[in-house]
């Protein structure tokens, strides 16, 4: 029997049991859709983060607390509090001749707290303590007002510069400059508003409140360590020399002898991009592997339904064998039916995953994130291949069982 005729017969049988066919492929649809969705969202997030980091400039160097090695990034990347960096480290970096290529540097101390302006409240508002040199480090520009000075920082001034979206988040759409509001019950006066900057690594800079570093540490947070340090190098060509000098200065600051490892991690923008790619790739494939478990569930569902189909079609199988159909014909028919089910399920799953990913992209853009919609051809081909392999693997036993039926026994089956 020709493959074309077997295919027609298989499609006819599937159309005769549309609901059963759909329920058979449902698990596969969900599994493949989830895998495509996770890979797509992961690729979009990765592209967004890389773009954001690159927008800061190639001559930016970051220092993270905690050691890192070939096994992975420092623990501070995952939100674990590490206390190896302090304000004196920034002072030393700017003063030492070994870091002469640094033109600006700032420590960072981040936190969250309730913010109140008149009758408007913002629970869990995000604030960042930075030095007065922050605009030079980050290439940030002011839309109005001014940034705070180093004198205001050392004097624990209660002043703030707000991101562009805080005007609507907290200040009822009014010009925030000159307004007084509270963070954790401490009053702050807004002296400046930044131009829109977008999000960097899932942190929307336009919804941040920037306050003097010492004020954040001593009044709001109650600690003296830093979340990170960022420094700008005069020229990109001097990045490696600057990094080496920074490592030497920080080792001296932390009194580390030659046998001790660094308790910090210095990275340039290229390193930061690779680090974030490593992290996002790991999370993406881990989540995709979890989603793939549903493919196994879908495969088991396919096998069970096909076994039921074989039982219901005993007489049909017996009749076909009686008129000359071989074991190979019967087995091929049921395998093709399984492949048709998995193929259609794969297409629907891919389409569903892509649509949901596109909707997430629209929502993310509405929230201010420069999210990129990405559906890669390799991920689509992988999803289709996995679906077909599962179809063959779980459809083999029912097909083999159908092929081995004795036609006499099958024709007597009621």
Can you list the alpha helix ranges (DSSP code H) found in 313-326?
314-322
> DSSP letter at 225?
B
Residue 273 pLDDT > 70, yes or no?
A: no
Please name the helix (run of DSSP H) or strand (run of DSSP E) that holds residue 360, with its range, or none: helix 327-366
Residue 370 pLDDT > 70, yes or no?
A: yes
10 Å CB burial of residue 259 (0-12, 13-18, 19+) is: exposed
Model pLDDT, residue 376: 80
- CA separation, residue 17 to residues 10, 11, 173, 399 (Å): 11, 10, 59, 18
Residue 399 pLDDT > 80, yes or no?
A: yes
Q: Which two tokens stand for residue 362?
A: 């629209």
Residue 306 pLDDT > 60, yes or no?
A: yes
* Rounded Cα–Cα distance for residues 201 and 48 (Å): 8
The mean-pLDDT minimum among 158-167, 229-238, 246-255 falls in 229-238
> Is 248:99 a contact under the CB 8 Å cutoff?
no
Q: Which two tokens stand for residue 303?
A: 């096998």
Q: Which two tokens stand for residue 170?
A: 């907290």
> What are the two backbone dihedrals, phi and then psi, of residue 126, each rounded to the nearest 5 degrees?
-95, 130
Model pLDDT, residue 71: 47
Q: Strand 203-204 relative to strand 142-145: parallel, antiparallel, unpaired? A: unpaired
Residue 126 pLDDT > 50, yes or no?
A: yes
pLDDT single digits (tens) 26-64? 888 888 888 888 888 888 877 777 776 666 666 888 898
Q: Which two tokens stand for residue 183?
A: 């963070």
> What are the two backbone dihedrals, phi and then psi, of residue 35, each rounded to the nearest 5 degrees?
-65, -45
Residue 77 pLDDT > 50, yes or no?
A: no
Q: Which residue has the higher pLDDT, 102 or 322?
A: 102
> Is 392:335 a contact under the CB 8 Å cutoff?
yes
């Amino acid at each position: 029997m020709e493959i074309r005729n077997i295919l027609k017969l298989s499609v006819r049988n599937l159309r005769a049991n549309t609901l059963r066919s759909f329920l058979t492929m449902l698990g596969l649809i969900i599994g493949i859709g989830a895998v495509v969705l996770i890979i797509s969202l992961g690729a979009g997030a990765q592209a967004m983060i890389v773009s954001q980091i690159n927008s800061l400039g190639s001559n930016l160097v970051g220092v993270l607390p905690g050691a890192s090695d070939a096994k992975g990034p420092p623990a501070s990347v995952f939100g674990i509090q590490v206390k190896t960096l302090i304000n004196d480290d920034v002072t030393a970096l700017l003063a030492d001749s070994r870091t002469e290529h640094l033109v600006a540097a700032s420590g960072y101390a981040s936190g969250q707290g309730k913010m109140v302006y008149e009758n408007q409240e913002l629970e869990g508002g995000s604030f960042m303590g930075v030095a007065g040199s922050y605009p030079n480090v980050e290439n940030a520009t002011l839309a109005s007002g001014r940034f705070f000075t180093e004198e205001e920082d050392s004097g624990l001034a209660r002043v703030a510069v707000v991101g562009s979206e805080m005007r609507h988040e907290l200040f009822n759409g009014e010009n925030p400059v000159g307004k007084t509001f509270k963070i954790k019950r401490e009053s702050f006066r807004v002296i400046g508003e930044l131009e829109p900057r977008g999000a960097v690594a899932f942190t929307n800079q336009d919804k941040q409140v920037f306050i003097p570093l010492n004020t954040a540490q001593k009044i709001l947070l109650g600690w003296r360590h830093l979340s990170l340090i960022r420094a700008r190098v005069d020229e990109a060509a001097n990045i490696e020399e600057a990094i080496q000098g920074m490592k030497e200065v920080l080792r001296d600051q932390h009194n580390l002898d030659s046998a001790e490892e660094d308790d910090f991690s210095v990275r340039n923008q290229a390193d930061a991009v690779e680090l974030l790619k490593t992290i996002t790739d790991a999370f993406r494939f881990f989540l995709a592997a979890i989603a793939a478990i549903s493919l196994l569930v879908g495969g088991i569902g396919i096998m069970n339904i096909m076994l039921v189909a074989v039982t219901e079609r005993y007489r049909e199988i017996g009749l076909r064998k009686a008129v000359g159909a071989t074991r190979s014909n019967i087995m091929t028919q049921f395998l093709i039916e399984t492949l048709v089910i998995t193929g259609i399920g794969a297409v629907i799953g891919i389409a569903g995953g892509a649509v949901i990913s596109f909707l997430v992209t629209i929502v993310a853009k509405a929230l201010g994130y420069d999210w990129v919609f990405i559906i890669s051809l390799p991920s689509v081909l992988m999803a289709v291949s996995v679906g077909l392999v599962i179809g063959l693997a779980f459809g083999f036993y029912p097909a083999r069982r159908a092929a081995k039926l004795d036609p006499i026994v099958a024709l007597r089956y009621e």
